[in-house]
Amino acid sequence: AQSVTQLGSHVSVSEGALVLLRCNYSSSVPPYLFWYVQYPNQGLQLLLKYTTGATLVKGINGFEAEFKKSETSFHLTKPSAHMSDAAEYFCAVKSTGNQFYFGTGTSLTVIP
Amino acid sequence: DTEVTQTPKHLVMGMTNKKSLKCEQHMGHRAMYWYKQKAKKPPELMFVYSYEKLSINESVPSRFSPECPNSSLLNLHLHALQPEDSALYLCASSQEMPADTQYFGPGTRLTVL
């Protein structure tokens, strides 16, 4: 069985501050991990993904995430928040097959 | 080209209407998906087509009927919907390998009156 937990359904940061969105997963096999962003009334856009190899993954818009197997975590970070980062963020996991398991999402607010 | 297109963008329908949602991709992906998303919630998987065959049906009511006419097209036929079916309907596609990214369309905002 697989599941994804995103701690904090709402996160607020000041513009220019560090963004940290947390994601923990449970999976019986090595997982493939994804972060998606969703702006209002739009579809989901891939930010980054981890499959194999380097555990620090860089994505679009300055985001990065680190796969930590010992902690079963895949937290998303960005050194300096921008107003345009305000959106809903979803962590997702896959192992075998085509099915994604999504976390419940984190709504990011950026305060000017 | 990593685009998945969906039409219409918005749809308002009565409970007795029949309508269809359309999804198209030209990335050569062989897996296509329908998701339902309520506000501030994650997408909920409805159907998965793999090589144009229905491979997953997540116990979706029969008033939703998917169709995959060819490898590039995915339809969702709607009939006798309920107001609680109002949501954003997202289509996605991917290659067949688990590590492959799902690419999402912009969605159809459905309102059932």
Measured between CA atoms, the residue of chain B closest to residue A9 is B40
| A99 contact residues in B (CB cutoff 8 A) | 45, 48, 56
**B31 to chain A: which residues are within 8 Å by CB?**
98
Which three-class secondary structure string do you get for A75-86?
EEEECCCCHHHC
Shortest distance, CA A67 to any CA of chain B (angstroms): 15
Confidence at residue B4, expressed as pLDDT on a 0 to 100 scale: 96
Interface test with A, best of B36, B102, B109, B110 (most A CBs within 10 A): B102
Please answer whether residues B111 and B24 qualify as being in contact, where contact means their C-beta atoms are separated by less than 8 angstroms. Answer: no
Those of residues 28-87 in A touching chain B at CB distance below 8 A are 32, 34, 36, 41-46, 49, 51-52
B45, B48, B90 member nearest A43 (Cβ): B90
pLDDT for res B53: 93
Residue with tokens 């096999």: A29
Residue of chain B whose Cα is closest to the Cα of A5: B42
Smallest Cβ–Cβ distance between B98 and the set A43, A95, A103 belongs to A95
What is the C-alpha separation between B88 and B41, in angstroms, rounded?
11
What are A5-59's pLDDT values in tens digits? 999 999 999 999 999 999 999 876 778 999 999 998 889 999 999 988 889 999 9
Q: Rounded to whole angstroms, how far apart are CA atoms A91 and B36?
A: 17
Q: Render pLDDT for A56-76 as a digit per residue (tens, 0 to 9).
A: 999 999 999 999 989 999 999
Smallest CA–CA distance, residue A31 to chain B, in Å, is 9
Calpha distance A25→A82 (Å, rounded): 27
- Interface touch A98/B48, C-beta < 8 Å: yes
Please provide the average confidence, as pLDDT, over all residues in chain B.
93
Given CA atoms A19, A25, A31, A32 in this order, what sign does their dihedral have? negative
Per-residue pLDDT, A52 = 85
pLDDT at B54 over 90: yes
With CB atoms and an 8 Å threshold, state whether A98 touches B56.
yes
